[in-house]
Amino acid sequence: MNDRPTPLELIQIANDTLAREVLPEAKQEHVYKLRMIANALGIAARELAAQEQDAANETRGLNLLYNDFKNFEDLKARNHKFAKDIRAGKFEATIANEAQLRQHLIVIARRKLAAAYPKGLPTSEKNNQ
C-alpha cells in the first residue's frame, strides 16, 4: 500500500484540478455538472479530514449523555441506541438532561454543516474549524 498520496490528498488534487483547470475551460452546458462534482469532492475531502476528530467528539458527547466512559461499542451502534433513546424520551427526565441532549445535537449538527456547507456557518465558527 502506498503512503502518499493519501485518499484525502487524491480527492483534494482532483478537486483542485477540476476547479483550476477543467471548469474554466468547460463548455457552458457542462459547468453545472462539473460544479456539482467539485462540491461533492469538497464535501468528501472535508469529511475525510475531520472524520477521526468528529468521531472522537461524538463519542465524548455520548459518553457524557450516558455518563458511561467504559462503553467501547462502535459509534454506529451507539448512535442507533441513542436514536431509540431519544424516541423513547430517555433524555426528557430533567431540564439538565434536555439541555445536555440539545448541546450534543447542536455540536454534531455544526460539525456536519462544516463538512457539507461551511459557508452556512457564522464566520467565527468557520475560523474555529
Q: List pLDDT tens digits, range 96-127.
A: 999 999 999 999 999 999 999 888 888 766 55
Residue 22 belongs to a domain: yes
Residue 50 belongs to a domain: yes
User: Which residues fall within 8 angstroms of residue 79, CB to CB, at 6 or more apart?
Assistant: 58, 62
pTM of full prediction above 0.85: no
Supply the pLDDT for residue 71.
Answer: 66
Residue 94 belongs to a domain: yes
Query: Would you state the cell numbers that stand for residue 9, as one nine-digit string?
Result: 490528498
What is the total count of domains within the chain?
1
Q: How many CB atoms lie within 10 A of CB 48?
A: 16
Closest CA to 36 of 12, 17, 49, 18: 18
Q: How confident is the model at residue 40 (pLDDT cuts 50, 70, 90)?
A: very high
Supply the DSSP string of 24-63, one letter for each residue.
Answer: GGS-HHHHHHHHHHHHHHHHHHHHHHHHHHHHHHHHHHHH
pLDDT in tens, 48-92: 999 999 998 999 899 888 888 776 678 898 899 999 999 999 999
Q: Which domain holds residue 112?
A: 7-127
Residue 2 belongs to a domain: no
Residue 14 belongs to a domain: yes
Q: Which residue has the cell 457542462?
A: 30
Residue 1 belongs to a domain: no
Angle at 61 between CA 58 and CA 62, to 5 degrees: 90
Residue 89 belongs to a domain: yes
Residue 103 belongs to a domain: yes
